[in-house]
Structure 1
Amino acid sequence: MISVSENKSIPDILLVEDNPGDVRLTQEALRDAKFDARLHIALDGIEALNFLKDGESPCPDLILLDLNLPRKDGFDVMEEIRNDPDLTHLPILVLTSSTAKEDILSSYERYVNAYLTKPDDPGSFVELVQIVEEFWIGNVRLPSCS
């Protein structure tokens, strides 16, 4: 099954994460999982929205979004994406350490596609990345950005 936009073979992933340790862990997990993807990193919500709206950056096939971000939090980012007709189709996976019921509910109320809790250990993180790749890139038909 074709999983990324039909005109490209390697998926673009936008990671919105302010913690350098979690950025590094995600990069290592992608490498260890042999997940061939172009990872773009935004360090806060405003940087993520600028990336999505600048017209120069590649359209991501997936957005991995942390909730607790400086300048504009993940909830505000979700709302802005879902209210923008040019972005609303983008799949958003919340990737956070929060297990709070309120955060889970608030995310789904903003039409997040999945809510994932960051594992504590690197091995489990690699497994999570493999699951994301298998499902979201290997099985799901994603819309193109054109």
Structure 2
Amino acid sequence: MNPVPILMADDDPLDQLLTKEAFEEAEAVNPLYFVENGVELMRYLRREPPYTDEAEYPMPGLILLDLNMPKMDGRECLAEIRKDPKLRFLPVIVMTTSNREEEVLNSYQMGANSYIAKPVDFEKLVTQVKAFNAYWCSVVELPGG
């Protein structure tokens, strides 16, 4: 199975850095790309400037989506992805700080494939990434894999 790119949409640079480091610590081989808000996520997925170069910005095999972002939040992105025939096949994993039941339920109702509450402790994040990697990047067949 070839490693597929993972695209993370998260506006917090520290969360991006910690996730990148957790993926490295967990020895995840999937390349990780980042966008900072929902508008950038949709531009990336739709191959709009500046994301037109597929070698530099490959189509992701799955998306890690924060719910609370500026310009266009994760809920709006999820709705856009699910109604777009060219994108709706992409697995979307909501990865956010909230673990409120209504957020979890709403995310699944909107078509999220999984919901992960971000831990605040780095070691717990590494453990979470290892479990995520074992399932999503080793067991599951992803688009482009």
TM-score (normalised: structure 1): 0.90
SS of aligned partner of 1:138? helix
Matching residue of 2:86: 86
TM-superposed CA distance for 1:31, in Å, is 0.6
| Conserved? CA contact 2:30–2:137, under 8 Å | no
Counterpart selection for 1:51 from 44, 51, 68? 44
Instruction: Please report how far the alpha carbon of residue 141 of structure 1 lies from its aligned counterpart in structure 2 after TM superposition.
Output: 1.2
Look up the match of 1:18.
11
Separation in 2 of the partners of 1:43 and 1:23? 9
Cα distance, 1:144 vs structure 2: 3.4
The residue aligned with 1:115 is 115
Deviation of 1:10 (Å)? 2.5
Letter in 1 for 2:76: D
Per-residue Cα deviation, 1:19-76 (whole angstroms, up to 9, x for no partner): 1110010010001001112111010000000000015331101100000000000000
Shift of 1:143: 2.7
The code of the aligned residue for 2:43 comes to N
Return the alpha-carbon distance in structure 1 between the equivalents of residues 143 and 31 of structure 2: 17
Alignment of 1:1-146 (within 5 A): 2=1, 9-54=2-47, 56=54, 57-144=57-144
Farther off after superposition, 46-55 or 78-87: 46-55
Q: Which residue type is aligned with residue 84 of structure 2?
A: D
1: distance between equivalents of 2:71 and 2:78? Answer: 14
What residue identity is the alignment partner of 1:89? F
How many aligned residue pairs are there?
Answer: 138
Unaligned runs of 5+ in 1: 3-8
Residues of 1 paired with 2:73 and 2:108: CA distance?
A: 15
CA-based RMSD of the aligned residues comes to: 1.3
Contact 2:3 2:137 in 1 (8 A): no
Say which is worse superposed, 72-81 or 94-103, in terms of deviation.
94-103
Q: Distance in 1 between matches of 2:35 and 2:143?
A: 22
Q: Percent identity?
A: 38
* 1:99-131 deviations in Å (ceiling 9; x for gaps): 112211110111100000001200010011111
- Contact residue 25 and residue 126 of structure 2 kept, 8 A: yes
Q: Which amino acid is the alignment partner of residue 64 of structure 1?
A: L
Q: How far apart, in 2, do the equivalents of 1:143 and 1:23 lie?
A: 23
> How far apart are the structure 2 equivalents of 1:70 and 1:128?
26
- One-letter amino acid matched to 1:131: A
- Report the AA paired with residue 40 of structure 2: E
